[in-house]
Chain A
Amino acid sequence: MTTQRILIALTLAASIGAAGAARAAEGTPTPPAQKWTFSGPFGKFDQGQLQRGFKIYKEVCASCHAMNLVSFRNLAEPGGPGFSVAQAAAVAAEYKIKDLDDKGEAIERNGRPADRFPSPFANDLAAAAANGGVTPPDLSTMAKARTYERGFPWFVFDIFTQFQEQGPDYIVALLTGYKEPPKGFALPAGGNYNEYFPGHVIAMPNPLSDGQVTFDDGAPQTVAQYAKDVTAFMMWAAEPHLVARKRLGFQVMIFLVVLSGLLYFTKKKVWSAVH
């Protein structure tokens, strides 16, 4: 047993040292943890935040980034930004959608709730050509498609604390991480310096500035607020059933705990004769 203990201690020591070394080598700071209303077992999206986030997405992000997996009707579905069906239809109607008429002629018609968010470019090649050779990534699953290494022992604790917000934390850090490059940093042409982007050179120019998007609910019109709101919106876009999932989860947990308890006492009763 002592061999076992020494080994575990050695493994722990080695891994903590190694995790620190890896982070220092890459030179990317850990994104600061944000407070999210959708974290934890009873997490819910903040409707106001999602509506603000949608406004930022529409006015800023959508000029370059597609969000192909989300439809206008989703805006009115439970657990989301809480638009009414009529409001979602009105949002859709603001867009022109390419379609064919019944003679097969190419037309542009008004958007309908069933339409997906239209892409800003005709295709990926056109998107790349307009953006310095790189297609701006689709934002539908972005909040789940980015992460940073948690390292030991945090990745173990995360199971119990249900920390699942690496993606959103990273996106907020990235959106607020534009800085002047440090002295001696060779920034390639067309690149922008970002503290949190791996390698620090990001093609996307700083997208947000204070006062850029007008809110009518009194929320501060700052980059910090914009970054959080649009990230929450992206999290909803990536996981639209998050609220339903956590709610059902709690019900299932209660059921399973009661079932386990009943089975435990049944087991005790059955085995009492042989023990």
Chain B
Amino acid sequence: MSGNSTYQPQSKVLQWFEKRLPIGGLIHSSFVAYPTPRNLNYWWTFGGILSFMLGVQIITGIVLAMHYTPHVDLAFKSVETIMRDVNYGWLLRYLHSNGASMFFIAVYIHMFRGMYYGSYKEPREVLWILGVIIYLLMMATGFLGYTLPWGQMSFWGATVITNFFSAIPGVGEAVVTWLWGGFAIGNPTLNRFYSLHYLLPFVIAGVVILHVWALHVSGQNNPAGIEPKSDRDTVPFTPYATVKDGFFMAVFCIMFAWFIFYAPNYLGHADNYIPANPAVTPAHIVPEWYYLPFYAILRAIPDKLLGVVAMFASILILAFLPWLDTSRVKSARYRPLFKQFFWLFFAVCIGLGWLGAKPAEGIYVVLSRILTFYYFAHFIIVLPLLGIFEKTKPLPNSISESVLGSKA
């Protein structure tokens, strides 16, 4: 989406159109001629996969919305009617519910890849922050969507999450009443959650356009973490990146299909097949798997307000990553110490996710506190100091040299 395009349509009609609205040139320069570093590995295919998943969620979601009824007495039944009586309704619904999980698997890989290779560093800070915003919007959308079937976990998950806001000093209770649209979670809550769940994906799509725009201004980072210097360092997006992305998207779809057709309820919770009942609290209220690390952080802190603050801070701190990491070398490939700390951080995130699914008692609380401390220490202590003290390996002179060796 940058610079003037060299695109010249063949047909007269397209030439006429291009003079008036150069959309062909925009597409050509963005997805055909756009130079991509020649050394990108398969971890770089998740951007395409994420766009694909957003498309899947929007299309299946629009069709599901044609059959769904956002009413506390009818929502559970309407979802079951989709599963039973709508033609291929079970497929649509499982595509959408498992699609959310696949979306998050892809976004987590995409984010960890960015962290490993230092993709957030100059000149890609804005690109990274836009990504953090997309991630926040995804979390909101996923939560809102999970409430819609109005099962037990929908209801009690919504209760726990909306109660976060009651921790705000002074106005907390008023804010929660305003969010609920009443003095308890009820029909107004379900209706507004449905409305917002339909709205937010289009907001995500808008920010995705900005994200891709920013990407096409700064160009892609790459495993070597150095900028392309000549044409020898890059290959055109089409056919090179297109076919590579396409191949890995198909592989990703195999995993997606495995869950849809063979384990469609694996990533969900059995309690959500029980209709919502405000009088019965489930034994363990557990959020969807993709929120578990943050849920563990929330429960690690004994004070409610501080817990909520820590939870939001654990996500927002990502936006400051470009400045917290003081090293000038981007890729972990040339940062031996950072590489170790990266994997330690990765293990801490997995550990927090596991703890989020456990009851908040005994050893689990202690472990949650230790890992929560380390989570923040990684950003506030480890990354700033590493940049100062770490002895990095020499960088290659160019991307083509890093791929082909110095003989090239």
Complex Cα distance, B28 from A109, in Å, reads 67
Chain B residues near A142 (CB-CB < 8 A) = 273
Contacts of A69 in B (CB 8 A): 77, 80, 84
Taken together as a complex, chains A and B put the C-alpha atoms of A63 and B246 apart, in Å, by 56
Given A4-B347, A15-B354, A264-B247: A252 and B257 within 8 A (CB)? yes
Indicate if B24 sits at the interface (CB-CB under 8 A): no
- By a CB distance below 8 angstroms, the chain B residues around A158 are 263, 266
Chain A nearest CB from B41 CB (Å) reads 12
Least CB distance from A259 to B in Å reads 5
Q: Does A78 contact B (CB under 8 A)?
A: no
> In the assembly, what is the distance between CA of A259 and CA of B350, in Å?
32
User: Smallest CB–CB gap between B363 and chain A, Å?
Assistant: 7
Q: Which residues of chain B come closer than 8 Å to A74, judged between CB atoms?
A: 84
Q: A140's closest neighbor in chain B, by CB? A: B80
* In the complex, chain A residues whose CB is within 8 Å of the CB of B251: 260
Q: How far is the CB of B368 from chain A (nearest CB, A)?
A: 12
Task: State whether the Cβ of A122 lies closer than 8 Å to any Cβ in chain B.
Answer: no
Q: Pick from A8, A152, A238, A270 the residue with the most CB of B within 10 Å.
A: A270
Report yes or no: A263 in contact with B250, Cβ–Cβ below 8 A: yes
In this assembly, does B264 line the interface, its C-beta being within 8 Å of a C-beta of chain A?
yes
In the complex, what residues of B have CB within 8 A of residue A252's CB?
A: 257, 261
In contact, B271 and A145 (Cβ under 8 angstroms): yes
Chain B nearest CB from A80 CB (Å) reads: 11
Q: Are B240 and A145 in contact (CB under 8 A)?
A: no
Most buried by A among B270, B271, B367: B270
Q: State how many angstroms separate the Cβ of B172 from the closest Cβ of chain A.
A: 34
Residue of B nearest to A240 (CB): B84
CB-defined contacts of A253 to chain B, threshold 8 Å = 254, 257-258, 261
The interface bits of chain A over 193-222 (1 if a CB of B lies within 8 angstroms of the residue's CB, else 0) are 000001000000000000000000000000
Contact of A248 among B91, B244, B263, B344 (CB under 8 A): B91
B262-A270 in contact (CB<8A): no
Which parts of A162-190 form the interface with B (CB within 8 Å)? 162, 164, 166-167
| Nearest-Cβ distance from residue A125 to partner chain B, whole angstroms | 13
Contact A263 B247 (CB under 8 A): yes
A7 touches B344 (CB 8 A): yes
B239 interfacial by beta-carbon distance below 8 Å: yes
B 65-95 binary contact with A (CB < 8 Å = 1; else 0): 0000000000001001001100000110010
List chain A residues, Cβ under 8 A from B358.
18
Q: Does B299 contact A (CB under 8 A)?
A: no
Given known pairs A11-B347, A11-B354, the reply for A256 and B266 (CB within 8 Å) is no
B243 x A270 contact (CB < 8 A):
yes
A41 adjacent to B262 (CB under 8 Å): yes
> Is A266 in the interface zone, CB < 8 Å from B?
yes
Q: Is there contact, CB below 8 Å, between B239 and A249?
A: no
Q: Tell yes or no: A96 within 8 A of B by CB.
A: no
A58 within 8 A of B: no
B297-348 at interface with A (beta carbon < 8 Å): 340, 343-344, 347
Whole-angstrom CA separation of A3 from B348 in the bound complex:
12
Q: List chain B residues, Cβ under 8 A from A241.
A: 83-84, 90
**B171: CB under 8 A from chain A?**
no
Kindly state whether residue A87 has any CB partner on chain B within 8 Å.
no
Question: Is A141 in contact with B266, judged by CB distance below 8 angstroms?
Answer: no
Q: How far is the CA of A147 from the CA of B358 in the complex (A)?
A: 16
Please report the C-alpha to C-alpha distance between residue A252 and residue B340 in the assembled complex, in whole angstroms: 40
Which one of B239, B246, B247 has the greatest number of beta carbons of chain A within 10 Å? B247
Shortest Cβ distance from A43 into B: residue = B262
Chain A positions 229-275 with a Cβ under 8 Å from a chain B Cβ = 238, 240-241, 244-246, 248-250, 252-253, 256-257, 259-260, 263-264, 266-267, 270-271, 274
Residues 1-42 of A at the B interface (beta carbon under 8 Å): 1, 3-4, 7-8, 11, 14-15, 18, 41
Q: Within the complex, which residue of B91, B343, B350, B363 is in contact with A18, where a contact is CB–CB below 8 Å?
A: B363
Give 10 closest A-B pairs by Cβ, nearest first: A249-B261, A145-B273, A263-B247, A147-B270, A141-B273, A260-B250, A4-B343, A144-B273, A7-B347, A162-B262
Other contacts beyond A248-B91, A256-B254: 13, CB < 8 A: A1-B343, A3-B343, A7-B347, A11-B351, A69-B84, A145-B271, A158-B266, A253-B261, A256-B253, A257-B254, A263-B250, A264-B247, A267-B247
Question: Would you list 16 pairs from A and B whose C-beta atoms are within 8 A, ordered by A residue?
Answer: A7-B347, A11-B347, A18-B364, A69-B77, A159-B263, A164-B263, A241-B84, A244-B90, A249-B261, A252-B261, A253-B261, A256-B253, A256-B254, A263-B247, A264-B247, A267-B243
